[in-house]
Chain A
Amino acid sequence: MQITVSVNGDAYTQEVEPRLLLIHFLRDELRLTGSHWGCDTSNCGACVVWLDETPVKSCTVLAAMADGHRVRTVEGMGMPGRLDPLQEGFSRCHGLQCGFCTPGMMLTARWLLDHNPDPTPGEIREALSGQVCRCTGYENIVRSVRWAAQYEAAGRDGGPSGGGPGETGHGPTATGVTG
């Protein structure tokens, strides 16, 4: 069957089998490999993308179900030349190590901040409770989301003063900011 899906603002029309999972459509057909997969039972959340305005586990959605709908992936975060504050926050606060769960975490966090701009750590943990990270122990993920929330609340370029850990030391603080 033929489907047309808008992904990160671009329309894609492809011939697919009805059984093709949305995650495979994105990764294998469209070569958007930023979304990952990590389990067989819809538990791990490495595959989280937005379907219309809603984060979903794309391993549990058929590409056919997305026909005529919009999908947003990590590749659609931020703007050309400018990172989403969550992307910035995750790097500043060391919210990622191997990077495999990161796209899904950021997309859920993006939805959370869009609906709850000042979440408590408990609310952040609850929002991310359907997604597994094996590296970070979650603490820095929570800090990353808080950083982004504060950045957006402050509403000014360059981030809040005294920011995250990346601003001390000799580190490459500029890496990635001007994406």
Chain B
Amino acid sequence: MTGRPYRSAYGPAQRKEDARFIRGRGTFVDDVQLSGMLHGAILRSPLAHARILSVDPAAAEAHPKVKAVITGETLAARNLAWMPTLSQDVQAVLATDKVRFQGQEVAFVVAEDRYSARDALELINVEYEPLPPVIDAERALDPGAPVIRDDIAGKADNHIFDWAAGDQAATDAAFAGADVVVTQDMLYPRVHPAPLETCGAIADLDEISGKLTMWSTSQAPHAHRTLYSLFLGLPEHKIRVISPDIGGGFGNKAPVYPGYICAIVGSMVTGRPVKWVEDRSENLMSTAFARDYHMHGEIAATRDGTILALRVKALADHGAFNGAAQPTKFPAGFFGMFSGSYDLRAAHCQVTGVYTNKAPGGVAYSCSFRITEAVYLVERMVDLLAGELDMDPAQLRLKNLLRPEQFPHTTPTGWEYDSGDYARTLRVALDAVGYPALRKEQAERRERGELMGIGISFFTEAVGAGPRKHMDILGLGMADGADLRVHPTGKAVLAVSCQTQGQGHETTFAQIVAEELGLSVDDVEVVHGDTDRTPFGLGTYGSRSTPVSGAAAAVVARKVRERARLVAAAMLEASADDLEWTGGRWQVRGDPAQGKTLAEIAMAAHSSLDLPEGVIGHLDADTVYNPPNLTYPYGAYICVVDVDPGTGVVQVRRFMAVDDCGVRINPMIVEGQIHGGLADGLGMALMQAITFDSDGNCLGGSFMDYLLPTSVECPSWELAETVTPCPHHPIGAKGVGESATVGSPAAVVNAVMDALRPYGVRHADMPLTPANVWSAIQGTPVRTDLAFNGWDGRVGTNECT
């Protein structure tokens, strides 16, 4: 058949997954109802730090609708009370000796329905002996501070790790020889990804077959399966993890949570499926938070604005257990990227991790493993330097950005950036936003006492973890698989290990295969999320889907195409070398009349055609993609704000985002990812923070206080792009999922600080709520990690020199 005229499958295709979601026919974990299913609920500690004197479940067990109550003691008897975390620590599944953060899991009730389960929680009697909590991370290492982790033999303090990167001597030398040194303390507050769907699972252990089926909100179903096997002692081939539709992940759904283990144990104990889905307060108070880096930054430069070096000391608040999720060799994630996008002589950072009486986590919320913290630090320091030198922040950046001929570029902390034309991207942003006109307007408004600010952020990301010799999580190398089957009628099924939570994989990966094989996107089905039906892989986070699984999809499709070449040669009675792939089919070079489409080839491969050497009777192929390097998307963001000096209210008037994520498979989906990340940045800059009072009460436990940006705060995002293909990725794509979340907070904060310059304000920490902005204007910026009440000396310690 001659077929239709060839068109590239790349482009803004409508999404295949939309069909079910616009009809309300998605299948999220809480939508699933299994026959005989019970409901679980968790009793949580009201105290941040306390010894457990007794747990008495008797009254709850007597409730007519309660089937089981599981306590720390029950789990301890099965050796399940403590589970490994993703950072070589352990975390309590249900507390036994002590509770170590407000909201920590203490007991698990299994009942016939969710209302009864909730009622039964009140019938469990727990006696606590309160202990003094460690809440202020900056006091965690004080001599005599209460020791949180006395479960660790010999532990006498709250220290977790020290980690450093870069050349300290060279950095010190650069600072010593610098004309100008600017210093600033800054906090990246504790925030939380808060996907709209909370975390949950249904554990269904079939007593007869011994097979455990876990429906769960998991961004990494295979990794979870392996973890369950190792931890629970269940044979891995008898575990199936199904991640159905997921209502947002953002890193919140990467870890294994105590509730999942409790659901499994509940199913073991009752012999029935047990569903556990957390409340929003549980989600905010106990699941993986993000950030909480207390940073001391220094930047050294010459008088004419050449940046020489950066130096950072950071205190990382990891909460009560070290549950941060990042590759094993990187306890501070990829914070080493703090040298940013600039041509520096030297850089050095030192990070100290500490325990506090707060929930565990740290790596989540589109942080690209702490690059959010790193980019915020460097982009704030660059702006502070611009202020010190009285230099335009755009000019200062253009003067110091890495130049195209410097790529591939190895940074002072050992990262090899793949490709980039940074200055061009910044210029596109400056042009598109009308930068000179904005500065002129700002000057005019300042005359009238109006506060307008313009903030720039230029960021380089590192995503697509990663090469397995450098990167593993809990010993599992970060390579991902892809299986591609082609049916006799030429329809294809791609099974990938990564898992979508809204990124559109069912469409974009279908586009990749369609493009490589000359198929229609409708003819490619993407299977994901079910460990029984997909190859092994480490899951979706760190923007790794396109760089890793997308690469795997392209590689496996090319394998199929090469097999198809051999079959086509047999069909056309030509030599395989005489064939070329053009117009979506294999044809004899220069002779369009002699060509075959993949559908024709597929049918032939299954037929009685005499198959050539190297083809075994179908076109199917599989692969495991081990990325040779990370990929390095980058971008230039510019934010315009207006600040009301009488109230401190900040309005984001405009936000211009120019992203370079290499080749874009589906521009519509790429832009959607960017829009979402920009809203995150606005939210973190202006309103989001999980704060604590001095007793350790978590004050960000609901959406009444953990505020998320709405359609009214968000401007109409303005986007543009440059395209610098990734040299090592099969399609030249870099990935983009977290870029906007990484790059945007600094742009907003830089803009607000720029607006406040007439008041001599140099820095104030996020979130820049009206109260915090007003306090900064008064000259008394506040520590935003501590609640407004109940602390002494809450005024900030933002030292500037």
User: Is there a contact between chains A and B in the complex with CB atoms less than 8 Å apart?
Assistant: yes
Instruction: Give the contacts of B660-680 with A (CB-CB under 8 A).
Output: 668-669, 671-679
Instruction: From A63-71, A90-98, A110-118, A154-162, give the one contacting chain B.
Output: A90-98
Instruction: Give the contacts of A154-179 with B (CB-CB under 8 A).
Output: 165-166, 168-173, 175-176, 179
Shortest A74–chain B CB gap in Å is 4
Instruction: Please indicate the chain A residues that have their CB under 8 angstroms from the CB of B196 in the complex.
Output: 36, 38, 44, 46, 98, 100-101, 132-134
Shortest A21–chain B CB gap in Å is 9
- In the complex the two chains form, what is the Cα distance from A101 to B14 in whole Å? 19
Given contacts A99-B26, A134-B195, contact A39 B703 (CB under 8 A): yes
B248 touches A96 (CB 8 A): no
Instruction: Give the contacts of A107-134 with B (CB-CB under 8 A).
Output: 121, 124-126, 128-134
Instruction: From B69-77, B141-149, B499-507, give the one contacting chain A.
Output: B499-507
Q: Which of B7, B10, B280, B711 contacts A124 (CB 8 A)?
A: B711
Please tell me if B714 contacts chain A, counting CB pairs below 8 Å: yes
A91 touches B14 (CB 8 A): yes
Instruction: Give the contacts of B1-35 with A (CB-CB under 8 A).
Output: 7-28, 30-31, 33
B14 touches A90 (CB 8 A): no
Given contacts A132-B708, A137-B677, A170-B520, contact A31 B33 (CB under 8 A): yes
Q: Which of A74, A99, A126 contacts B712 (CB 8 A)?
A: A126
Q: How large is the interface on A (under 10, 10 to 19, 20 to 34, 35 or more residues)?
A: 35 or more
B716 touches A139 (CB 8 A): yes
Instruction: Please indicate the chain A residues that have their CB under 8 angstroms from the CB of B12 in the complex.
Output: 165-166, 168-169, 171
A36 touches B22 (CB 8 A): no
- In the complex the two chains form, what is the Cα distance from A132 to B675 in whole Å? 14
A103 touches B704 (CB 8 A): no
B711 touches A43 (CB 8 A): no
Please tell me if B330 contacts chain A, counting CB pairs below 8 Å: no
Instruction: Please indicate the chain A residues that have their CB under 8 angstroms from the CB of B8 in the complex.
Output: 169-170
Please tell me if B494 contacts chain A, counting CB pairs below 8 Å: no
A170 touches B197 (CB 8 A): no
Given contacts A106-B22, A175-B18, contact A98 B197 (CB under 8 A): yes
B711 touches A99 (CB 8 A): no
A87 touches B703 (CB 8 A): no
Please tell me if A17 contacts chain B, counting CB pairs below 8 Å: yes
Please name the residue on chain B nearest to A130 by beta carbon: B710
Please tell me if B415 contacts chain A, counting CB pairs below 8 Å: no
Please name the residue on chain A nearest to B282 by beta carbon: A40
B7 touches A132 (CB 8 A): no
- In the complex the two chains form, what is the Cα distance from A121 to B716 in whole Å? 9
Instruction: Please indicate the chain A residues that have their CB under 8 angstroms from the CB of B27 in the complex.
Output: 33
Instruction: Please indicate the chain B residues that have their CB under 8 angstroms from the CB of A19 in the complex.
Output: 115
B248 touches A135 (CB 8 A): yes
Shortest A121–chain B CB gap in Å is 7
Q: How large is the interface on B (under 10, 10 to 19, 20 to 34, 35 or more residues)?
A: 35 or more
Given contacts A97-B503, A170-B9, A175-B16, contact A75 B23 (CB under 8 A): yes
Instruction: Please indicate the chain B residues that have their CB under 8 angstroms from the CB of A32 in the complex.
Output: 24
- In the complex the two chains form, what is the Cα distance from A140 to B716 in whole Å? 9
Please name the residue on chain A nearest to B679 by beta carbon: A137
B703 touches A97 (CB 8 A): no
Please tell me if B514 contacts chain A, counting CB pairs below 8 Å: yes
Instruction: Please indicate the chain A residues that have their CB under 8 angstroms from the CB of B702 in the complex.
Output: 39-41, 43
Given contacts A40-B281, A137-B714, A171-B521, contact A99 B245 (CB under 8 A): yes
Instruction: Please indicate the chain B residues that have their CB under 8 angstroms from the CB of A124 in the complex.
Output: 711
- In the complex the two chains form, what is the Cα distance from A102 to B22 in whole Å? 7
Given contacts A40-B279, A170-B9, A172-B13, contact A96 B24 (CB under 8 A): no
Please tell me if B581 contacts chain A, counting CB pairs below 8 Å: no
Shortest A178–chain B CB gap in Å is 11
Instruction: Please indicate the chain B residues that have their CB under 8 angstroms from the CB of A140 in the complex.
Output: 671-672, 675
Instruction: Give the contacts of B217-249 with A (CB-CB under 8 A).
Output: 245-248
- In the complex the two chains form, what is the Cα distance from A70 to B703 in whole Å? 29
Shortest B102–chain A CB gap in Å is 16
Shortest B25–chain A CB gap in Å is 7
- In the complex the two chains form, what is the Cα distance from A33 to B277 in whole Å? 15
Shortest A77–chain B CB gap in Å is 8
Task: List, sorted by A's number, 10 A–B pairs whose CB atoms are closer than 8 Å.
Answer: A33-B24, A38-B196, A41-B703, A97-B503, A98-B195, A98-B245, A98-B248, A138-B679, A169-B8, A170-B13
Chain A residues close to B by CB (< 8 Å): 17, 19-20, 24, 27-28, 31-41, 43-44, 46, 73-75, 77-78, 83, 87, 90-92, 94, 96-103, 106, 121, 124-126, 128-142, 165-166, 168-173, 175-176, 179
